[in-house]
Structure 1
Amino acid sequence: MTHPRLPADFLWGVATAGHQNEGDNTAGDTWFLEHTTPSLFREPSGPACRGYEHWAADLDLVAGLGLNAFRFSVEWARVEPERGTVSAEALDHYERMVDGCLERGLAPVVTFSHFTAPHWFAAAGSWTAADAPARFAEQCDRVTARFGDRIACAVTLNEPNLEQLLQAGAKLPPEAERLKEEMLAAAARAAGSPGYGSANVIPAGRQEEFQEAFTRAHRAAREAVKARRADLPLGVSIALADEVAVPGGEERRNAKRAAVYDHWLREARHDDFIGVQNYERIVHGPDGEVLPDGERNGMGTVIEPASLAGAVRYAHEVAGVPVLVTEHGIQTADDTQRATFIPAAVDALAAEIAAGTPVLGYCHWTLMDNFEWIFGYGAQLGLHEVDRTTFRRRPKPSAAAYADVVRRYRDGLAQGPRT
């Protein structure tokens, strides 16, 4: 069968994030934690990909792939490096990026917080502080006031459920949890504050507290953005694995969904879309997770291109709003895996759309290999390699594979699965 052409306004993009790509985000909480002793981070981010300098050339790479969207984050720590001090230069920079997107035919998809926040915010109670929603709303308001009239979609928070997903799946060893606690305590001492917090290094015992805090922040941000531009499509992006069950595993699967995803999917009923970020399928049996046979990715799970379609289906079933795939990719040093994986995943997503699930667009993670948080530069998810000395970008075969599948769908030539 041949899938019908996707809507003309379907967003085909790539996703990036400020701290992971820009470099030298010295006023940010993650930078501070990278330089804390002890630190959970494998290495400091340093110059990252020097994306803050090379943004225009990077947008040329995106446009050169035939894409029509670019997701990036505005670094709050650059805009407000000290509490109450707003950097006109930083706002000018991000406005140039928005205009640069539009000049190249790329719809700007802007994330207000991609995990990172200013150091002063982290040392003053972080997201759980009483005034955190108001402070975040102020940031969202100033950004929307500057260039909200020109962006296509807005994401308030990136993966506020990530730590719950990691802990539910026991993805980090117990010693990592201890190191996390020690790092945050050391950071608080170094900052001279009662505590220190950050969005993607949350202790296990504070998950519920942070979920409530993130929810308040999301709602405050939504109100601030909508007050400036009521028609701007807005949502929150969550980490969402495709949770499936073999006979007898349904109860475990449902418990995982309830613990990790359902709060945010219900919250998204008040938004314009739900952002889905999918990287794997998890199979549940009566006695726990089951690892099927098959080729594995760098996360240790079996490569399953259909996982994205399954995650998107579940997200829409619960949230009841359209889905925007804000991230999807594969961690692997073998780019032949990625080049094969992308077209197969997109075909499965297109079949899901044809079956009736509303999807606004697809953003691949990521444009280039970058700083992957506690894993440093050891994990590769990019369509381009980056020379760590010269910062030259070199396309991988997967970049051409993604460009080809986008071209086929935009031309109405994509072939679905044979039946």
Structure 2
Amino acid sequence: MALEKTWRWFGRKDRISLSQLRQFGVQGIVTSLHHKKPGEVWSVAEIREVQEEIEKAGMRWSVVESLPVSEEIKINGPRRAELIRNYVTSLQNLGQCGIDTVCYNFMPVLDWARTDLHFIDANGAESMLFDYATFAAFDIYILERPGASSDYSPEVIAKAKEINEAMSQDEKDVLAYNIIVVTQGFINGTVGNVSNYKQVFLDYLATYKNIDRDKLRSHLVMFLNDVIPAAEEAGVNLCIHPDDPPFSLLGLPRIASSREDFEWIFTQNPSLANGLTFCSGSLSVRPDNDLVGIVQQFAERIHFVHLRNIKRTTTRSFYESPHLDGVVDMYQVLEALLQEQARRIEEGRKDLRMPFRPDHGLKILDDFNRESNPGYPLVGRMKGFAEICGLELGIESAMAKQQKSVASVAGSEG
């Protein structure tokens, strides 16, 4: 048995069709109700409409990514109770439809962040880059967030000033627009494509003025305690996505960035429905994150897997690299995941699929002639998909030979 092969699909507006995905071995679809705003109830009828479309193409709706957690829940705002009720109802409706895995994140205001969406690597492929000093230039000199300078070292501030002074106004506008709008727009972004996006963004940041790490942690626990019982009853596993990148940005706390963070989260609510989306790309940005150790420690809670790779350039700076070429030892990570799947089979657990998807991908070949969301080209992701599937087959064969050898030795000794 292998990890379920899945693919992120952005609905009918996606330039890649379901029939195309089926052609190269995709088994499950990772998607969302992209027309719904955060906080709105997902009705059974709306869920089934998408589910049936996927099933007609010969696949299953494997994972919801994402059922977004509203900012009002994260800040414990006045509409929190209403939004929790809506979230619970959506979980119940998903469970009624047999959809059992829901990925979410608890990152304040800004989801994943990159400073260059068109970074060209040494091979001529287009990747995405996060440069910490450039992000500081955006934060301090372009966004002009109050008090931003206090979050950076003098060395980073000096470099950020150089970067800002070397940029044209058009380049500054593109950088801000990409960070605030483009990378967030297709995943239920907070701000939306509005003319005063920078001010709207600053207003959202201001709502976290009195929310530090401990306060945000307490709000996450409140969320989990409110929704996990309903998820358990509905037969749905929730799995938190790690922060991307896994450190504080814009003065906002990040609370899902390290092994210690996950230990704390799972201690607060021990239900197995309180699970993890293991994302090798996000976690590997921090050199102190032992990816194999994280898989092994939280194996029973890993309900969904994102596999991608990165190369670090400087401290807190990186670019996305080919799936098998980077700081992530994909062999060891995948081996640990397959060992967990084997353990689940032996235990008789029902959640054996452990769906994975190739997370992001480099733009290569005909991808340059296609439109796609940042990080989601067809050919580059398909290359990563094929590489991981091939690596997985090799690992499974090695594991089977090892088991046969152990059984043979045991038999001869008996």
- Normalized against structure 1, the TM-score is what? 0.44
Larger radius of gyration: 2
Q: Give the structure, 1 or 2, with the largest relative contact order (CA under 8 Å, sep 6 or more).
A: 1
